[in-house]
Amino acid sequence: MHALITGANGTVGQALTQLLGTLGHRVTAWDRARVPIDDYFAMERFVTEAKPDVVFHLAIASKPTGRDNEGWLVNWHWPSELAWITSRADIPFVFTSTVLVYTNNVAGPITPDTQPDATEGYGGDKRRAEERVRYQNPEARIARLGWQIGEAAGSNNMIDFFETTMEREGAVTASTRWLPATSFLADTAAALLEVARLAPGTYLIDSNHSASNFYELACALNQLHGNKWKIEPNDAFTLDQRMIDSRVPVAPLSARLSSLARKGD
């Protein structure tokens, strides 16, 4: 398989690129320096000449360059154009979204029938982008992701949060009343490959099958990483953010965190 990936150097993009390479697939990464995202014909020509079997659109506006309307350009315009281009070329299109399309007013667990309600910020941008992608390409696959668990600091993942919080505050406070949507990066990448093979639609990718709260998860990760962080429980934040979608095969947290297996994950 030949996959074209936007955001290949990002948190999820690196994991997906690594998995595809391990499986013997070919990857073409979108280089914005070579293919501008505000030039439709350049984008169309690039996709047509690359001839990918699938396009994974993972890129977000994570590193602003200072140009006008950059957030809109990256988070809405680019996926809109790619959705149209892939529709015309009959290429499967996978667009990654986020659990943040649901606000804290949504009582989980979230299912595919739960309506997103975010109107502002990153979640609002992603919700509007989802709507545009569906309009431009009814055959698109949309995958909503939770907080990603990496292996080290340096990118937008939970381990980086622990490391930077420890440096700044000397301890990590974790709510016993927050049930996050979360998955290990490698498991998210594997699930995205499965989503690419599923029928067009919107899918939820979350490994928190056992309803583990953030404190339990933080303690389990701390044990995995040699108890290097100071984890303190609190109950300051209450939310069931879990996303449940039986259509998507995704490994449970207990596959990598044995201490959570006792909860039946």
All structural domains of the chain, each given as residue ranges with its CATH number in brackets, are: 2-147+182-205 (3.40.50.720), 149-181+208-242+252-263 (3.90.25)
* Whole-number pLDDT of residue 263: 55
**For strand 141-145 and strand 93-98, is the pairing parallel, antiparallel, or unpaired?**
parallel
Taking alpha carbons only, the member of 123, 129, 128 closest to residue 103 is 123
0.85 exceeded by pTM: yes
Between CA 175 and CA 75 the distance in angstroms is 30
* Residue 248: C-alpha distances to residues 34, 53, 125, 207, 259 (Å): 35, 21, 24, 10, 24
Q: What is the DSSP track for 110-152?
A: B-TTSPP---SHHHHHHHHHHHHHHHH-TT-EEEEE-EEE-SS
Q: What is the DSSP track for the chain?
A: -EEEEETTTSHHHHHHHHHHHHTT-EEEE--TTTS-TT-HHHHHHHHHHH--SEEEE---S-S----TTHHHIIIIIHHHHHHHHHHHHT--EEEEEEGGGS-TTS-SSB-TTSPP---SHHHHHHHHHHHHHHHH-TT-EEEEE-EEE-SSSSSSSHHHHHHHHHHHHSSEEEESSEE--EEEHHHHHHHHHHHHHSPSEEEEE---TT---HHHHHHHHHHHTTS-S-EEEE-S--EE--B--TTS----GGGT-GGGGGGT-
Between CA 64 and CA 72 the distance in angstroms is 12
Would you write out the chain's pLDDT as a tens digit for each of its 265 residues? 999 999 999 999 999 999 999 999 999 999 988 999 999 999 999 999 999 999 999 998 666 565 667 778 888 999 999 999 999 999 999 999 999 999 999 988 999 999 999 999 999 999 999 999 999 999 999 999 999 999 877 777 899 999 999 999 999 999 999 999 999 999 999 999 999 999 999 999 999 998 999 999 999 999 999 999 999 999 989 999 999 999 999 999 999 998 887 655 5
